[in-house]
Amino acid sequence: MVKLLATIEHAVKKPIWDCRMCGQCVLHSTGLTCPMTCPKTLRNGPCGGVREDGRCEVRPEMRCVWLKAQTRSERMPRPWREEFDDLRPPVDGRLRGTSSWLNLLTGRDRVTPQGWDAGEREA
Ligand code: SF4
């Protein structure tokens, strides 16, 4: 059942968002732009290498994922639009290939590394 759910999620999300099955989906807070499609898999905004024309320094044929995310997030309804600036925790590599839907239901996607606290960092 767990494997079947991951297979269904991948079948739905890969063609639409190029989902990489990180297991901790944040699409709602990134303007429905998958941050794992960033060549550096950055989850909290662009690196310092965005070219002047907005293209990626690693793959110049593509527009920076985070520039796309920002534009798209402005069209998202509240409160998702406001979550764009939230600090997202580091992605947990152990969840790769698992269903983010299931991880959302069980709360597993909200387990953060020991010592990591977005609230403290934002204060
Ligand atoms: S954030 Fe993760 S689960 Fe969501 S679309 Fe991207 S790779 Fe898939």
Residues of the chain with pLDDT under 50: 123
Nearest to 107 by CA among 23, 51, 19, 36: 23
Q: What is the pLDDT of residue 121?
A: 52
Q: What percent of the chain has pLDDT over 90?
A: 89
Task: Tell me the HSE value of 74 on the side-chain side, using a 13 A CA sphere.
Answer: 5
Ligand 1 atom with the smallest distance to the CA of 34 is 6
pLDDT tens, 39-48? 999 999 999 9
pTM confidence score: 0.90
- Residue whose CA lies nearest to ligand 1 atom number 1: 25
What pLDDT is stored for residue 123 in this prediction? 46
Rounded CA gap, 71 and 31, in Å? 8
Rg (CA), the chain: 15
Q: Whose CA is nearest to atom 4 of ligand 1?
A: 25
DSSP state of 101: H
Measured at the CA of 118, the angle between CA 114 and CA 121, to 5 degrees, comes to 105
pLDDT confidence of residue 114: 86
CA separation for the pair 17, 61 (Å, rounded): 18
- The DSSP bridge partners found for residue 14 are none
